[in-house]
Amino acid sequence: MDEFIREDGRSPTTFRNMKMKVGILNNADGSAYIECGGNKILVGVYGPRELHSKKHSKPDGAVLRCKYNMAPFSVVERKRPGNDRRSTEISKLISEAITPCVFLEKYPRSSIDISIEVLEAEGGTRCLGIVGASLALADAEIPMRDLISACAVGKVDDTIVLDLSEKEDQTGNADIPVAIMPRTGEITFLQMDGNLTQDEFNEALNLAYAGCEFINQMQREALLNKYRGEL
Ligand code: ADP
């Protein structure tokens, strides 16, 4: 049987072209930059630093705060600057996806702040935000159980596919962004839009595991490249 070829020429199990780099912002404690297809995403991490507000600090560990923001020029139609429901939801879910892997208990009464700036968006920004946040935390040398990886899988023209573009996200039958701790295989985040049979869902989840394995390799390479460059 001929393999399904997607509109942008990819096979069902191929990512868009991807680049990852860490340590690019001088004034952040850790940073990462990711390009994937038409996405360009910059992440900065500040902390851990003492949180003076008694109301917001926790005596038994750091508070992880995440802010996802889309620049006005990140999409074709100018996006109104500032928070909206979508960015509030994505900030919360990225923070929840990352929290299980960080040793927050090492930093009582502190905060770790993650800023995710989407400079250009083309589908998949929440997953790339998780990947970038994880990289920037590692770059900030914040101790973690694992380097969280994430990717979206879905169904387009009755085929299970990896890494949906914006167009596939809009016209496809299903979209499932997933974040995984590769060492244990634990899923820390999963959303599902659309309908799949149980068999299709299982196939999609297996593809997400394989996709996250690939992303994890790229994350490790990006971190190693920083130290290779410094030698
Ligand atoms: P994700 O980026 O995680 O796939 P969505 O499914 O909500 O999140 O969005 C899919 C894509 O739709 C985005 O990556 C972006 O390219 C586009 N998009 C999102 N919000 C807007 C907006 N306000 N205006 C134009 N395009 C948008």
CB of 126 closer than 6 A to ligand 1? yes
Asked whether residue 8 is domain-assigned, the answer is: no
Rounded to the nearest angstrom, the distance between the alpha carbon of 52 and the centre of ligand 1 is 36
pLDDT of residue 1: 56
Residue whose token pair is 């404690």: 29
d(CA 151, CA 215): 8
> Apex CA 42: angle with CA 37 and CA 45, to 5°?
145
CA angle, 109 then 184 then 223, to 5°: 70
Residue 11 domain-assigned (yes or no): no
Domain count, the chain: 1
Separation of CA 74 and ligand 1 centre (Å): 10
Q: Could you list the pLDDT tens digit for every one of the 231 residues in the chain?
A: 568 999 999 999 999 999 999 999 999 999 999 999 999 999 999 999 999 888 889 999 999 999 999 999 999 999 999 999 999 999 999 999 999 999 999 999 999 999 999 999 999 999 999 999 999 999 999 999 999 999 999 999 999 999 999 999 999 999 999 999 999 999 999 999 999 999 999 999 999 999 999 999 999 999 999 988 766
86 CA to middle of ligand 1, Å?
9
Provide the 3-class DSSP secondary structure of residue 172: coil
Contact 200, 153 (CB under 8 A): no
The answer to whether residue 6 sits within a structural domain is: no
Q: Are 102 and 142 contacting, i.e. CB atoms less than 8 angstroms apart? A: yes
Strands 149-156 and 174-181 come out as antiparallel
**Structure-token pair, residue 75:** 């999409």
- 62 SS3 class: coil
The answer to whether residue 214 sits within a structural domain is yes
127: exposed, middle or buried (C-beta count within 10 Å: 0-12, 13-18, 19+)?
A: buried
Q: Tell me, yes or no, whether 224 lies in a domain.
A: yes
Report whether 219 contacts 149 (CB < 8 A). Answer: yes
Does some domain include residue 12? no
Identify the domain containing residue 61 by its residue range.
Answer: 18-228
The reply to whether 123 falls in a domain is: yes
| CATH code where residue 193 lies | 3.30.230.70
Asked, for residue 97, whether it belongs to a domain, the answer is: yes
d(CA 162, CA 151): 8
For the question of whether the overall pTM of this predicted structure is more than 0.95, the answer is: yes
Name the closest-CA residue to atom 7, ligand 1.
86
